[in-house]
Structure 1
Amino acid sequence: MRVIVVGAGEVGANIAVSLAESHDVIVIDIDPEKVEDLTYSSDILAIKGDGTSLRILEEAGIAEADMLIASTDDDETNLVTCGTAKTTGDVFTIARVRNANFLDTWTRSERAFGVDFMVSTNLLTANDIVRVVGLPAAVDVDPFAGGLVQMAEFEVAADCEIVGQTVEEADKFDALTFAALVQEGDVVIARGQTRIEAGNRVIVIGSPESVQAFSKTVASAETSDEARDIVVVGGSDIGYHTARLLEERGLEPRLIEQDADRGRQLAEDLPGTIVMVHDATDVDFLVGEHIDRADAVIAATDSDEKNLLVSLLAKNIGVARTVAVVEQGQYASLFEAVGTDVAINPREATAEEIVRFTQEGQVENLSLIEGRQAEVLEIEVDEASVLAGRPIHESITELPSGVVIGAITRNQEFIVPRGETVIKAGDHVVLFVAADVLSPVMELV
């Protein structure tokens, strides 16, 4: 498939690199430095130019393209790019937008703006935040198989009961599979004798109930089993959608917004949320409003710097968990290193969603792990798959070593993958796959 990606920023570059292994990818960007970096670092054809220009799109081969992905940081540019591309033929268009109002318009009107598929960065980010807050000690959570399966990543604290244990010793949950450990930034496949150390991250795949139960073994004593008192700092679009989603779950979050006009608007739009107009960096105010007793504080302002400050202040006054939105992906690890419990990068969430959609048909769902070091994939097994009609202990020998079968669902029922389990055509299988073996695995399964 020939794919044109407009925008070589963090989102566009991630998408281009992810697709380049199996597709013919061309990238367009107005920044010559980004074009040069992508060309030399990833050996991807990149063109300097404006993606809204028909001439530039024609230079990139839009007439022969199967798909165009508009992923710049400007909503209007992305929409115009898709509309321009549609004038050349029936290329499939994907637009990334921040403003969920565009998504609402697009949803109500088929193919509005000349867009075939739209991704709302802010709404995706809010969903990620709510999933993470709902699971004690988790730093990443993704649903698979229509919610029957969860993938979750947990930070292992020094006082955690599984520190020093092998994976075999820690694996006490029937419907849970240890997929991998992240040790000093490197993803390591979890084997029975792999030892879990403090500071590691553990990636597990299982039923939501088993993942919830496991979370209690890695959560610190101060972490609540169920976060109910949640404070959102920042009435940004992400902050608004986060509070709205929490309301939909039956919670009554508190939201702190410094701008009075924005605060009044939020109070009208969020009837189930207590909106407070104040500066969230005022420690006396935070303590006076008992923010220190909150189960979680979510820093969702439009400033990375303020989000870091808010999350550190919250930890300093005793908040159990902090989640911060980090627009600049390269700072996410820094946020977590200095004390923020979870840093969520909207651009990474967007790239993941778009890559997932481009692989539909072969892949039902996916999650990118640790900067694309690995992927968690959901596939529907067909008769030609090496997995079909055979017990796992037999079929797994034909797969590379960097693969773990994490879960199986059949007819909307969860099946625990064990050595004698026979996978059937039509089953949905959730796999953990190391990036360096992804291509051969996809050919086999």
Structure 2
Amino acid sequence: MKIVIVGAGEVGTHLSETLSVADHDVTVIERDEALAQTLTETVDVRVVKGNGSSASTLLKAGASKCDFFLAMTSSDETNLVSASLAKALGAKKTFARAHDATYRDNTLINHQRHFGIDHLVNPEALAAVELAKRIRNPGRVAVEDFGRGQIEVKSIEIQSGAKVCDIPLKDLKLPGNIRIGLVQRDDTNIVANANTTLKVGDQVTVFGHPDSLFETKALFDPSSKGSKKISVTILSGSEIAISLARLLSNPRFKIRIIERDLKHCEALAERLPSVTMIHGDGTSLRVLEEEEIGHSDFFVACRKDDEDNIMTCLQAFKLGAKHTMLAINRADYIEILEKLNTNLGVELAVSPRIAATNEVLRYIGKKPFIQLEDSVREEIDNNFIIELDIAEKSSVVDKKIRDIEWPEECVLVGHEHNYMPRTPTGDDILRAGDSIIAIICKSRIKELLKLTK
């Protein structure tokens, strides 16, 4: 594929290195002489020196004929203009990196639609999703390549007294568009259908929004009712922290943010009324002790200073915080942190830059089969979780999901339209270019592929 990247910073360089190794035809636009020269000497890509917001530069780089155009500079405005121009010139798919929440606020205007960009990538929001996944359920199994935190999958054992027993799934009213994909009974794996009934002892694989999964858990396991609130303390009111607080807006989380800037603290208190704002220097051991950080279930350091995040997590761990996690800006620190996990107590380190890179690569190098963790792969046995796109000429285009004759032993558990993922309902209409995710018996995969082509 032909790919044009604007920006030779850390994200752009990481993408160019990865994509060039995968034998794609990569061109990078960079206006900084030193960065352009470094990239030319270290990575096997074509480098065009110039302004990524210039139409003539984009034409020179081949943006009019590229399969993917990736605007990945540190300037949101440059990225928006560049991706918009590339789309107008003929680029098939355009991605723009955008940090500022202003460009994701669709209250007055949808910036993505206005500029004609296929996908806005927010590194901080993607990093927050990774943190939220771990906090929501430390033992969860996630569909990492689908949903960006909007769809998760969980394995639950049906306990005695569960309200879902002996009722066909078609008559079972599950909240929040929850979908049951697989049922493991003794040594047998069953792809769920409308007539499937659940029994005590069954191990079910359930898909849905994280909040819906939590609310549904009591239906499968009555003993889970009345679970205590999970306390989360976040260092700094950064963009990652704000995104994380919003992702954890469910009442089961008790969230505190420690912010040293008084004006920013007051502003966040208005924006996030359900969050307790604490004005203070969270890197101070005295402040951490006064706020009883040791009683926190999760401590998450989200400052822009990596060293502060690392040292504060170490202090929180020593004070007794059950789980400590952090955001890291220098991606090369992550490998070191993983090796020192036991001593530092850091369970998870996320990098906004790596998160953004992985998000883009998910679309460029999308595989037809989603690989789950080993424990789940053993459970699904002869069944696969497969993600695929709906072709323009597919017979399912413009049809409701309930009106489509799907292969036997196949259940849809995810639907993505305009890059917005959700668990599907029977009334959802499939459009050309949509993605679906399904659990399907291995022997039926060809039927599904034929249906969607």
8 Å Cα contact 2:63/2:91 also seen in 1: no
**1:274 is matched with which residue: 276, 279, 282?**
276
Q: Secondary structure at the match of 1:280?
A: coil
Q: What is the Cα deviation at residue 381 of structure 1?
A: 10
State the match for 2:52 in structure 1: 51
Closer, same or farther in 2 for the Cα pair 1:143/1:352, shift >3 Å? closer
Q: What is the Cα deviation at residue 10 of structure 1?
A: 2.5
Quick one: distance in 1 between partners of 2:316 and 2:24? 45
8 Å Cα contact 2:112/2:119 also seen in 1: no
Quick one: distance in 2 between partners of 1:115 and 1:144? 20
Q: What is the Cα deviation at residue 233 of structure 1?
A: 0.9
Q: TM-score, normalised by structure 1?
A: 0.63
More deviation, 279-288/54-63 = 54-63
Q: What is the Cα deviation at residue 308 of structure 1?
A: 1.4
8 Å Cα contact 1:356/1:366 also seen in 2: no
Closer, same or farther in 2 for the Cα pair 1:422/1:114, shift >3 Å? closer
Q: What is the Cα deviation at residue 358 of structure 1?
A: 3.3
State the match for 1:260 in structure 2: 262
Quick one: distance in 2 between partners of 1:253 and 1:108? 30
Quick one: distance in 1 between partners of 2:115 and 2:369? 26
Quick one: distance in 1 between partners of 2:389 and 2:58? 38
Quick one: distance in 2 between partners of 1:341 and 1:251? 19
Q: Secondary structure at the match of 1:425?
A: helix
Closer, same or farther in 2 for the Cα pair 1:123/1:234, shift >3 Å? same
Superposition pairs of residues 48-127 of structure 1, within 5 angstroms? 48-86=49-87, 88-89=89-90, 91-105=92-106, 108=110, 111-127=113-129
Quick one: distance in 1 between partners of 2:229 and 2:327? 18
State the match for 2:321 in structure 1: 319
Task: Point out the structure with max Rg over C-alpha.
Answer: 2
Q: What is the Cα deviation at residue 138 of structure 1?
A: 7.8
Quick one: distance in 2 between partners of 1:272 and 1:93? 36
Q: What is the Cα deviation at residue 411 of structure 1?
A: 3.8
Q: Which residue identity does 2:364 align to in structure 1?
A: T
1:277-333: CA deviations, max 9, x gaps? 111122222222221111110101122122112111111211121111111111112
Quick one: distance in 2 between partners of 1:333 and 1:98? 25
8 Å Cα contact 1:68/1:94 also seen in 2: yes
Matched residues, percent identical?
Answer: 28
Q: Which residue identity does 1:276 align to in structure 2?
A: I
Gaps (5+ residues) in structure 2? 156-182, 186-204, 214-226, 373-383, 391-408, 415-436
Let me know the Cα RMSD of the aligned residues: 4.1
Q: What is the Cα deviation at residue 136 of structure 1?
A: 2.5
**1:241 is matched with which residue: 240, 243, 258?**
243
Quick one: distance in 2 between partners of 1:359 and 1:52? 26
State the match for 1:299 in structure 2: 301
Number of matched residues? 332
Quick one: distance in 2 between partners of 1:246 and 1:135? 12
Superposition pairs of residues 16-35 of structure 1, within 5 angstroms? 16-20=16-20, 21=22, 23-35=24-36
1:350 aligns with 2:371: no
Closer, same or farther in 2 for the Cα pair 1:8/1:365, shift >3 Å? farther
1:130 aligns with 2:132: yes
Q: Which residue identity does 2:349 align to in structure 1?
A: A
Closer, same or farther in 2 for the Cα pair 1:412/1:246, shift >3 Å? closer
8 Å Cα contact 1:135/1:226 also seen in 2: no
Q: Secondary structure at the match of 2:321?
A: coil
Closer, same or farther in 2 for the Cα pair 1:139/1:27, shift >3 Å? farther
Q: What is the Cα deviation at residue 8 of structure 1?
A: 2.0
State the match for 2:6 in structure 1: 6
Q: What is the Cα deviation at residue 149 of structure 1?
A: 4.1
Superposition pairs of residues 161-310 of structure 1, within 5 angstroms? 228-248=230-250, 250-310=252-312
Superposition pairs of residues 366-445 of structure 1, within 5 angstroms? 378-380=386-388, 410-412=411-413, 422-425=443-446
Q: Secondary structure at the match of 1:56?
A: helix
More deviation, 252-261/83-92 = 83-92
8 Å Cα contact 1:304/1:326 also seen in 2: yes
Q: Which residue identity does 1:307 align to in structure 2?
A: N
1:97-132: CA deviations, max 9, x gaps? 111221224973562234232112222121111002
Q: Which residue identity does 1:15 align to in structure 2?
A: L
Q: TM-score, normalised by structure 2?
A: 0.62
Q: Secondary structure at the match of 1:142?
A: coil
Q: Secondary structure at the match of 2:254?
A: coil
Quick one: distance in 2 between partners of 1:379 and 1:149? 14
Q: What is the Cα deviation at residue 426 of structure 1?
A: 5.5
Q: What is the Cα deviation at residue 150 of structure 1?
A: 6.8
